[in-house]
Amino acid sequence: MQASNFNDNSLDLHNLVAKNQFGTFFGVSQQTLDTVWDNLTGNNQNSVVYISMEIGADPDVFHPIKDRLMDLEKTNSMDSRLKQFVKKIFEGPEKIPCYGGGLGVLAGDTLKSFADCRLPVVAVSLLYRHGYFSQIVDSKIGQIAQSVAWTPEETPGLYLLQDPENPGQALQVEIPFFNEFDQETLAIAQVWMKMEVNHTLDYFIPELLLDFSLADNPVPIKNAAGQLYNSDSSIIKATQRRMLGTGILPVLQAMGISSYTLHLNEQHGVVVVLQLIAEELAIRVKKSDLSQVSNEEIIAAADKVADRLVYTIHTPVKAGHDRFNKSVYAGISHRSCRRILDLLAHDDESLHSYNFTTLAMRVNRTANSVSRLHRDVTHKQFPNFANKITAITNGVHHLTWISDARAELFDNFPELKNWRRDPGVLRNVDKLKSNTRFRTYLLRAWEEDTTILYKFINKMLLRHRNQMTSTWIDPPNHYSNIIDSSTKLDPKIFTVGFARRFSTYKRADLIFDNIGKLCSIAVNNNWPINFLFSGKAHPADEPGKSVIKLILNYQQELHAKSRGLVNLIFIPNYDMHIAKMMVAGVHIWLNNPKRPLEASGTSGMKAALNGVPNLSIMDGWWVEGYHEGQTGWKFGREGSVDEADLSESPDALLYAEDSASFYATLPLVLEEFYENDEKSRFIDKAIMNLILNVPIFNTHRMAAEYLQKYQLKLPSRLQSEMDGFSKLYNSNE
């Protein structure tokens, strides 16, 4: 489907194998590989390193190479070497479970847009052999975390890089760690490359994934290498951050990558600045022993280094900001690093901690938040840095999140020609507003996606019931006991989607605060509702896990009190695939965090991209995406925000106030859905989302805004294309 834009056959399959000194790669031509490498290496330093703790880019939701193969249908007549690659793509695992939520998915989406826009960027992250956990849900126990078994070696599109000097051997990067006596212990990382290939297969962004799980590595390193966001101890957590931060420069050097600008997402990789400062000092003062340099010299070096860093802060939630007890750092860094930290990573709240958010705020040339409201909040949180913090509102990669049915619709209208290249084209839906054919097809596409979602859910509900006999797991859904061949969940029923991480500030249980009230809305008007919920809680987040438990416990009560009109279904093991089905298949997307703790949120943008309206608290991106009566509905507390609003304590979470507002708003939504022919008012809203929101909340526009911070020199044609994207919106207004 995605590949229907290939009209020429010039990209022969055999041309899609390329090699260089680091290995042989499938999916791009030699020319493309050389172009990307030329962009990143050499002396011009005209490229960017994008650094993230997690990257979410599952091939089962976006895979241009596979689409291309399906398009060509040439898979039978090819030489044996090619066959291996192709077999792996068709039969290999389709998940790379190295992401935990919004941050990782955003990173993946961003890199895909960088690739579409042909920007000189390379990403660095870690490879976790045990990934992020997979979630089983039992109605009595709640969430059960299972570690995922995955094998990078068998995963299509992942390549272990070779050592150019010893062909056949893996490239190994040495990274110095220290013990509390300042004795060096070397950690070794191998490097995997995933290519984030663009939809026309003529450019890609390399993701370099450092893999520290080697047998010879020191035990603390190996412990920290397995699992994303392992928080068994603060030492493991700090070590993991350090593996990312200190791995960056050595891997770039080993590969000859010369980027000047480093883009930090959160402060996870910020210890890279310690190395940069040490290098700068070595040049400036020619003293190899940092104990001899003055504080002023360190500060001057930091100011110089700051010019190389772009910093994005992604959350106002305190738990998202790394603070480590100084004693933790005694064990993993050199004395001279600790001197730099003493000067630059001051923690306002504790003399005994380093604050890495402070360090990242301090050492950069520009910092940004991820929405306008988040910018205002960040200004209040970090008054000392307020003058340099701007807003770049997040987006989503439109080619990843558009459903097949919607994409086909767009393909069929000449007014939307080129929408794959330029999501701004969707503004032209304005010309199709009252085109009956467009409206009918849009409704049909929506119904098709709803049917797909319901097939998945009804199958899941039966599977859960049947698995009871083979496992000890109780079906997580009450409905598994009801469903049979004649009683199934019905796609025609108004369907509300809610899916994201289960953190307490996201308040997944908000709308069930008064179940009697909720049920009476349905019963009094005979308006049935299906609520579809999904999401994982971090395994160490007990309050988050208990919200999942609560949700499960409400199911029976909702069903009984509403006489079967209201059903709540929980879909276990939320991932990108489930997200994609949900955002396109539901009738409305619900988001109800405690304002202003949702810095941006992106799942609502994925819904909007498919024309699905949002019903949301005025937080994050929705402050910018909500247009009264046009794109969806708002509810809950509004108004200005201050420090006190950042509290996450249970009594500050505004359950009573915001749920009451929800119950007042919901009937308006249901009336529009049930009391209009051909869903006409919902189609109006879908259309307004395409016109007003898609051109803004996409990662092409976002990439263009970041580009203004990157200070790259680009060929003029490319630069003017990017200027076009940045004209779609100015986040920082």
Ligand X SMILES: *Cc1c(COP(=O)(O)O)cnc(C)c1O
Q: Which residues are near ligand X by CB under 6 A?
A: 101-102, 105, 500, 574-576, 579, 601-603, 606
Which tokens sit at 487? 């009683």
Of residues 102 and 613, the one with the C-beta less far from ligand X: 102
DSSP string, 150-198: --GGGSTTEEEPBPTTSTTSBPEEEEEEE-TT--EEEEEEEEEEEEEE-
Of residues 461 and 576, the one with the C-beta less far from ligand X: 576
Give residue 108's Cα distance to chain centre: 6
Which tokens sit at 227? 């699992």
DSSP state, residue 698: B
Rounded least distance, CB 460 to ligand X, Å = 17
Rounded least distance, CB 497 to ligand X, Å = 10
Indicate the pairing of strand 588-591 with strand 494-499.
parallel
Rounded least distance, CB 103 to ligand X, Å = 8
Cα distance between residue 595 and residue 571, in whole Å = 26
Share of the chain residues as helix, strand and coil, in percent rounded to the nearest 5: 45, 15, 35
Rounded least distance, CB 599 to ligand X, Å = 9
Of residues 139 and 603, the one with the C-beta less far from ligand X: 603
Of residues 107 and 529, the one with the C-beta less far from ligand X: 107
Which three-class secondary structure state does DSSP give residue 236? helix
Q: How many CB atoms are located within 10 Å of the residue 306 CB?
A: 17
Compute the C-alpha angle 423/424/427, nearest 5°.
Answer: 115
Rounded least distance, CB 567 to ligand X, Å = 22
Cα distance between residue 278 and residue 335, in whole Å = 12
Give residue 599's Cα distance to chain centre: 13
Report phi then psi at 246, rounded to 5.
-85, -10
Q: Looking up tokens 């007549």, which residue turns up?
A: 77
The residue among 15, 36, 150 whose CA lies nearest residue 85 is 15
Of residues 196 and 575, the one with the C-beta less far from ligand X: 575
Rounded least distance, CB 58 to ligand X, Å = 9
DSSP state, residue 243: H
Of residues 313 and 576, the one with the C-beta less far from ligand X: 576
Of residues 131 and 601, the one with the C-beta less far from ligand X: 601
Rounded least distance, CB 96 to ligand X, Å = 13
- Whether the CB-CB separation of 638 and 492 falls below 8 Å is answered with no
Of residues 240 and 591, the one with the C-beta less far from ligand X: 591
- Whether the CB-CB separation of 500 and 101 falls below 8 Å is answered with yes
Of residues 102 and 157, the one with the C-beta less far from ligand X: 102
Of residues 269 and 497, the one with the C-beta less far from ligand X: 497
Paired with 590 in beta bridges are 615
Rounded least distance, CB 536 to ligand X, Å = 8
Rounded least distance, CB 461 to ligand X, Å = 21
- Whether the CB-CB separation of 301 and 295 falls below 8 Å is answered with no
Rounded least distance, CB 314 to ligand X, Å = 10
Q: How many CB atoms are located within 10 Å of the residue 649 CB?
A: 7
